Structure 1
Amino acid sequence: MSNPSPAAVATPLTQAPALRSITFERGDLELSTGLLDYVIRNDVHTWIRRGGGLVGFGEVARFTTSGPGRFAEGQQWWREVIAAADVVDPLARPGTGLLAFGSFAFSKTSRHPSRLIVPKIIVGSRDGKSWLTYITDDDGAELSPAAAETALASFLDDVEPERKPSQEDRLAPGILTEEQWMTAVSRGVAHIRDGELSKLVLARDVVAELGSPISTAQVLRELAVRYSDCWTYSVDGLIGSTPEMLIKVEDQTARARVLAGTLDRSSAPAGEAGYADRVLAGSEKQQHEHEIAIDSLTRQLEPFTRTMTSHSEPFVLELPNVWHLASDVTAELAPDGEGRVPSSLALVEALHPTAAVCGTPTTVAGELIRELEHLERGPYAGPVGWMDAVGNGEWGIALRGAVVETPTRVRMYAGCGIVEASQPTAELAETWSKFRPMIEALGLPVPLRY
């Protein structure tokens, strides 16, 4: 995936393809590795957590679009695909049958192409049980378990070699230097103190220049093993392992995980029990940032629900690189006037962008982001995930990730929630803690300061 340019405007497709698919159950996966045994190619699409999830190979259909209508246009295309499809899915579970992986640009003003991709082969797994879905646009293709296994085997024959660190590997500055970005944070705090907004999320980028081509599959495996409680994603060159679930829809129930408030584990005193609880849960600044994020999500989700529950107090989520304040939200979805429950992508459109990745109020924060960051976020902090033909889906926020611009150039992104009490040097250190998963997975050393 190349870095977006003014010429990278995608034209939506006007006619949905006629697809045929078959899904069948397979045997148990190896418990120690799960789906990671299938993450062996650089072009796989992935959605993996704790060894389960989805891995997609090949491509039979693609939809791209951009602008404010990107979600609605994606939904319309997907509805047309479903209406024209011939689907054999005796399992009828979330993630079986016809399915698309997706990645959407963060900003409605971005010219970065948002995309939905229907793979040819999907290996899925849940609770140790696996299934295989074979999708084709060929009317004459044989749809059978044997044909599906043959198609899968053809993809598995092409294994990408692992990459070893090179002396030529280096980290290069992104759009803004550290000093310029800290100035942007100071300016953001000034706007907050002037009462224009209560929270602003500012991101920055750094670039990994590699001496040899990246092994995306190797990076994904590293992330999935190290960050097993996160969702490891890969869609068309956008890769990462996000701790934040924007929305999950399963059998008319929606779930979300909201994170706001971060503490770097590398700076924690050795052996001090309760350190994260004291510093995060006991911090007025961190609690305030989290409260803004959770209120933003529940307010946007409420019109689509019958009932909704969330933690009365956030809990501390422990990850290998950081601690977060986190809250899980569960909601029973309500049907509309025609008796239809909203799809996962419809909820994505309603929820994005949340205060956790933009700020509050959203309109003011979005304008300041464009003014202060000087950064085309592209798919960073946008929705990434999958959806099936009956409305189920899982959409995370594309955090702790990167865009593979060329085989030897990888652009990484990290952001921080800025409130009135924010200090630029502390926010800069937080970005490095969030860069760490990708930097380490690439085999590069993590600098204390750039």
Structure 2
Amino acid sequence: MSTPSLTALTPAHGQSSGLRSITVAREDLDPRTGLLEYVVRDDAHTWIRRGGGLVGYGEITRFTVTGPDRFTRAQDWWRRELAGAEVLDELGIPGSGLIAFGSFAFSKTSPHASRLIVPEVVVGCTEGRSWLTYITRDPEAELSAAAAEAALAAWLLEPAADRSPSPGDRLAPGVLTEDQYTRAVAEGVEHVRRGELSKLVLARDIVAELERPIATAHVLRELAVRYEDCWTYAVDGLIGSTPEMLIKVENNTAEARVLAGTLDRADAPADDPGYAERVLAGSEKQLHEHQIAIDSLTETLAPFTSSMTSHSEPFVLQLPNVWHLASDVTARLTADDDGHVPTSLALVQALHPTAAVCGTPTTVAGALIRELEHLQRGPYAGPVGWIDAGGNGEWGIALRGAVIETPTRVRLYAGCGIVEGSTPEAELAETWSKFRPMIEALGIRR
């Protein structure tokens, strides 16, 4: 794996060419709802967890790219945009000032265009502090609090309508039928048993066909409320609520949340409070899968850090649809010989794809994925999130989500980690548990 560029991103102040922005503090967010009150447009860019995060409107500019160097080229473009930017930011905290929302293809061979998008207006909130950012390319535009508020008001004039489920809404098979998927899992297990790899992640898709256009904002609010411990995202038609943080960078500290090991809550006994802990933490198969994911992350992250801490034992993360074995990793980033600390996007390049969404070794797993899945993952299981002008950012893995292909056609994805102890029937059932967040948010009865 090549080493990513570690050059820090620093905007040039006081210049009038290129991007211009102003960020001002705000105090009007309702603490009960946070940013949810701003998730009112179907075309908004969204990154929310527990009411905090970022909601963006509009588009000032974008960069699209394909290929194995997509992360490097995207970071180079962002650096060029920042070099000529004029930035007024009275907060100076991660996520304020100039930012770009991003979504990247899972595979380096994918024809799907990875993208960074700079919005016109961003409302942000973290740890009780909220702000408004206005971005423009107009050299004559006024950069003021009043101009920012006026731009926001214009975007909020016509909120999207909610959508009630229709009787004709239905789920259709994707590229693989259920039988084809179980056969693919069985083949994957045989590859593991022969010692070709220790873990393989195989995904499948289903299609939601709707009678009326999807109400994206409504779906996102449903996800954010039901899955408040997840990161609810929307970037250019990619939507979902991921429980897995690939990497978060804030003031030279990196954090990640690794999930591997899943237990469906649908059939859990109601009178057994220790059920999830016993079944997950007591399963050699689940612990083995989790350890592979942890080792993959920490070994890749180590060259960029001066210290790293993680749980000695995984904890059980409880979500409305499933339980996961989870581990949080925190690392102090170290500067290279030139004094530059890696940006969030540089770390994304180093870490993706992880064992949690690909397998290990990743080169062997990636080739098997292309052979056995028979589908284009596109942005599914790829990095999704944001980066700011200081290189800070949050990048989740695009899981528990879907791609809006047309206003009435939505493709859902789910995948499972295949190890030697996997059984095709259990993995198929696990995909349905992972489809459940999007199916319920869409209001479809299965």
Q: If the length of structure 1 is used for normalisation, what is the TM-score?
A: 0.95
Q: In structure 2, how many angstroms separate the alpha carbons of the residues matched to 1:89 and 1:341? A: 22
Q: In structure 1, how many angstroms separate the alpha carbons of the residues matched to 2:395 and 2:352? A: 11
2:111 is matched with 111
Q: In structure 2, how many angstroms separate the alpha carbons of the residues matched to 1:278 and 1:413? A: 29
Q: Unpaired segments of 5 or more residues in structure 2?
A: 1-16
Q: In structure 2, how many angstroms separate the alpha carbons of the residues matched to 1:277 and 1:46? A: 33
Matched residue SS, 2:122: strand
Please state if 1:299 is matched with 2:289: no
2:90 is matched with 90
Matched residue SS, 1:297: helix
Report the CA distance between 1:126 and its aligned residue.
1.1
Matched residue SS, 1:258: strand
**In the alignment, residue 203 of structure 2 is paired with which amino acid?**
A
Report the CA distance between 1:31 and its aligned residue.
1.3
Q: In structure 1, how many angstroms separate the alpha carbons of the residues matched to 2:51 and 2:427? A: 33
Please state if 1:271 is matched with 2:271: yes
1:173-220 Cα shifts (integer Å, max 9, x gaps):
000000000000000000001110000000000000001110000000
Matched residue SS, 1:267: coil
1:8 is matched with none
1:74 is matched with 74
Report the CA distance between 1:158 and its aligned residue.
1.5
Report the CA distance between 1:170 and its aligned residue.
0.3
Q: In structure 1, how many angstroms separate the alpha carbons of the residues matched to 2:207 and 2:227? A: 22
Q: In structure 2, how many angstroms separate the alpha carbons of the residues matched to 1:196 and 1:28? A: 56
Q: In structure 2, how many angstroms separate the alpha carbons of the residues matched to 1:215 and 1:79? A: 35
More displaced, 91-100 or 265-274?
Answer: 265-274
1:5 is matched with none
Q: In structure 2, how many angstroms separate the alpha carbons of the residues matched to 1:249 and 1:267? A: 38
1:273-316 Cα shifts (integer Å, max 9, x gaps):
20000000000000000000000000000000000011010000
2:224 is matched with 224
Q: In structure 1, how many angstroms separate the alpha carbons of the residues matched to 2:266 and 2:356? A: 23
**In the alignment, residue 204 of structure 1 is paired with which amino acid?**
R
**In the alignment, residue 86 of structure 2 is paired with which amino acid?**
D
Maintained 8 Å contact 1:29/1:128:
no
1:183 is matched with 183
Q: In structure 1, how many angstroms separate the alpha carbons of the residues matched to 2:89 and 2:98? A: 8
Maintained 8 Å contact 1:28/1:128:
no
1:366-397 Cα shifts (integer Å, max 9, x gaps):
00000000010000000000000001000000
Q: In structure 2, how many angstroms separate the alpha carbons of the residues matched to 1:318 and 1:117? A: 33
Q: In structure 1, how many angstroms separate the alpha carbons of the residues matched to 2:196 and 2:129? A: 51
Maintained 8 Å contact 1:29/1:129:
no
1:196-275 matches, cutoff 5 A: 196-275=196-275
Maintained 8 Å contact 1:402/1:411:
yes
Identity %: 74
Matched residue SS, 2:232: strand
Matched residue SS, 2:266: helix
Q: In structure 1, how many angstroms separate the alpha carbons of the residues matched to 2:127 and 2:444? A: 34
Q: In structure 2, how many angstroms separate the alpha carbons of the residues matched to 1:211 and 1:32? A: 33
1:339-358 matches, cutoff 5 A: 339-358=339-358
**In the alignment, residue 255 of structure 2 is paired with which amino acid?**
R
Report the CA distance between 1:84 and its aligned residue.
1.0
Report the CA distance between 1:32 and its aligned residue.
1.4
**In the alignment, residue 406 of structure 2 is paired with which amino acid?**
T
1:392-407 matches, cutoff 5 A: 392-407=392-407
Q: In structure 2, how many angstroms separate the alpha carbons of the residues matched to 1:158 and 1:389? A: 31
1:164 is matched with 164
Q: In structure 2, how many angstroms separate the alpha carbons of the residues matched to 1:423 and 1:186? A: 7
Maintained 8 Å contact 1:197/1:364:
yes
Q: In structure 1, how many angstroms separate the alpha carbons of the residues matched to 2:84 and 2:267? A: 55
Q: In structure 1, how many angstroms separate the alpha carbons of the residues matched to 2:321 and 2:266? A: 7
Report the CA distance between 1:128 and its aligned residue.
2.8
Q: In structure 2, how many angstroms separate the alpha carbons of the residues matched to 1:215 and 1:400? A: 18
Q: In structure 2, how many angstroms separate the alpha carbons of the residues matched to 1:74 and 1:156? A: 30
Report the CA distance between 1:127 and its aligned residue.
2.1
Q: In structure 2, how many angstroms separate the alpha carbons of the residues matched to 1:18 and 1:28? A: 31
Q: Unpaired segments of 5 or more residues in structure 1?
A: 1-16
Matched residue SS, 2:91: coil
Matched residue SS, 1:125: strand
RMSD, aligned CA: 0.7
Q: In structure 2, how many angstroms separate the alpha carbons of the residues matched to 1:331 and 1:127? A: 21
**In the alignment, residue 429 of structure 2 is paired with which amino acid?**
A
Q: In structure 1, how many angstroms separate the alpha carbons of the residues matched to 2:430 and 2:24? A: 45
Report the CA distance between 1:37 and its aligned residue.
0.6
Give runs of ≥4 in structure 1 deviating > 2 Å. Answer: none
Maintained 8 Å contact 1:101/1:385:
yes
Matched residue SS, 1:202: strand
Q: In structure 2, how many angstroms separate the alpha carbons of the residues matched to 1:28 and 1:411? A: 37
Please state if 1:36 is matched with 2:36: yes
Report the CA distance between 1:130 and its aligned residue.
1.0
**In the alignment, residue 444 of structure 2 is paired with which amino acid?**
L
Q: In structure 2, how many angstroms separate the alpha carbons of the residues matched to 1:126 and 1:339? A: 28
1:319 is matched with 319
1:217-258 Cα shifts (integer Å, max 9, x gaps):
000000000000000000000000000000000000000000
1:54-106 Cα shifts (integer Å, max 9, x gaps):
00000001000000000000010011011110101121000000000000000
1:301-450 matches, cutoff 5 A: 301-445=301-445, 447=446
Count of residue pairs brought into register by the alignment: 430
Q: If the length of structure 2 is used for normalisation, what is the TM-score?
A: 0.96
1:338-374 Cα shifts (integer Å, max 9, x gaps):
0000000000000000000000000000000000000
Q: In structure 2, how many angstroms separate the alpha carbons of the residues matched to 1:387 and 1:94? A: 9
Q: In structure 2, how many angstroms separate the alpha carbons of the residues matched to 1:438 and 1:32? A: 24
